[in-house]
């Protein structure tokens, strides 16, 4: 496995060379100092669960505390009465406690759940954290993996952020899609695409050897032309 890249400014280490990050230096205790006893208790429970999983680094930031192995695999954002725990898994978890799932790649499902007490870091959460730790070690990183189609609760809460490009379509223009994004929606091709703050209904279609997202006249209305890049955020149109 390749050696980690060390940032020359803050000396943090990353799996990818020139990885974007914040060089803000802050100790864990400094981050926790203004937090409530409840929030600190939740953080300590998460930290204790991760210590069982293996070695990891902690990077306190202004808004959250991130957890890093070879790469970032999770984090916790503390509020007064709750904490939002996020972690990356190689497959989606179908559990009603999961508030959102973001698909970043074939084996990168970012999960988020809200914890309102330290006791909520239960056996399931501890198992998810250890699996996320393995993802942080890149043990479960497989860019060639196929994505199982989302169903039920997973489909209701899955979001797919994309940096994509406008391509030709028999009826005008469409957005090109990575294969993993199209596979994730499976037999539910109808989605909502948020572009520039507005939502547009669309349909995932197969064109030649690649999937595309057909948005009728939306791309023209947005002033996008063939070859232009676009940021889109996809959710199932339920």
Distance (Å, whole) CA 57 – CA 64: 14
Do the Cβ atoms of 165 and 230 come closer than 8 Å?
yes
Overall pTM > 0.95: no
Q: Which pLDDT value is given to residue 112?
A: 98
**Does the pLDDT at position 16 exceed 70?**
no
If you average pLDDT over residues 132-160, what whole number do you get?
88
pLDDT in tens, 73-118: 999 999 999 999 999 999 999 999 999 999 998 889 999 999 999 9
Between CA 65 and CA 77 the distance in angstroms is: 7
Q: pLDDT at position 14, please?
A: 56
Q: Which residue has the tokens 């948020």?
A: 194
Contact by Cβ (8 Å): 199, 233: no
Which has the closest alpha carbon to 134: 89, 84, 86, 76? Answer: 89
């Amino acid at each position: 496995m390749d050696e980690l890249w060390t940032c020359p400014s803050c000396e943090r280490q990353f799996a990818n060379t020139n990885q974007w990050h914040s060089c803000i230096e802050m100790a864990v205790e400094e981050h926790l100092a203004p937090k409530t006893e409840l929030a600190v208790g939740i953080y300590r429970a998460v930290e204790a669960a991760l210590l069982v999983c293996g070695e990891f680094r902690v990077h306190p930031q202004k808004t959250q505390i991130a957890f890093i192995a070879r790469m970032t695999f999770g984090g916790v954002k503390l509020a007064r009465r709750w904490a939002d725990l996020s972690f990356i898994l190689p497959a989606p978890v179908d559990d009603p406690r999961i508030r959102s799932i973001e698909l970043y790649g074939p084996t990168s499902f970012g999960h988020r759940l809200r914890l309102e007490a330290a006791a909520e870091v239960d056996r399931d959460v501890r198992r998810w954290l250890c699996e996320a730790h393995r993802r942080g070690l890149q043990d479960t990183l497989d860019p060639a993996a196929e994505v199982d189609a989302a169903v039920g609760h997973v489909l209701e809460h899955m979001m797919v952020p994309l940096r994509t490009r406008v391509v030709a379509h028999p009826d005008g223009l469409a957005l090109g899609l990575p294969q993993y994004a199209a596979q994730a929606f499976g037999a539910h091709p109808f989605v909502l695409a948020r572009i520039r703050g507005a939502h547009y209904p669309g349909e995932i279609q197969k064109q030649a050897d690649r999937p595309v997202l057909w948005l009728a006249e939306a791309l023209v209305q947005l002033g996008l032309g063939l070859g232009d890049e676009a940021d889109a955020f996809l959710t199932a149109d339920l």
